[in-house]
Structure 1
Amino acid sequence: MKKLTTIYDIASALGITVSTVSRALRDFPGTSESTRKTVIDMAAKLDYRPNKLASALKSGKTFIIGIIVPSIEAHFFASIIHSIEDELKESHRFVAFVCGLGDADFKLFFGRFATDC
């Protein structure tokens, strides 16, 4: 499996700091256009892809939507989940997480929340 390129790799290849790479990739004010272009070109050359998990941890926004249904086998729930996933794909920002619970677990799960309210 190929090792993913990090901003540390880009910084090392260019002989600049990791902070400079980070600022250049985020188009942070104060970063010169030549530095920004150099960093972006090296990122493309090294096939850099931002780590979405690291970004989510830093920003506190995961853009994950949880869907809890009693059964993903039922056509009704499957079609709803499929529609939600289709809409989310358009945004390029969200991931649908599906958790199928058995009927008894579903009632127990939501019954617990109903008593907590």
Structure 2
Amino acid sequence: GISKIFIHRFAGILSAYGMGLADIVVEIQEPSVLVLAESSQDKSLKILLKKLDKLAENARTDLVEQGYKPEQIEIKRYLNLRYQGTDTALMVPEPEPKNNYDTGITNCGLGIAESSPELQKN
């Protein structure tokens, strides 16, 4: 077993100081069962983008209500994606759009598939 435990005499102060330095995070998730296609005209893609915008706005509102200024808030959007027929999701950051017509989301899974050709075989 453990014979000695060392507790720093300023443990409480150091803990409070560390908590004060930590970023404030609001995490909001919403389940979705949509199949994403490569087309930016895909209906499910438009639904997903609306959901992401709504979640981002809810998080922003929550932080503003806590007293943070809008310019202090940084929104990071992540997607839990999985290939059809699998049960394990991969958490990936939302890709940046390549141009004004691209949402970025349509390329999420393609980078993985391109780097793993065996996943593309039927």
Q: What is the TM-score normalised by the length of structure 2?
A: 0.28
Q: What is the TM-score normalised by the length of structure 1?
A: 0.28
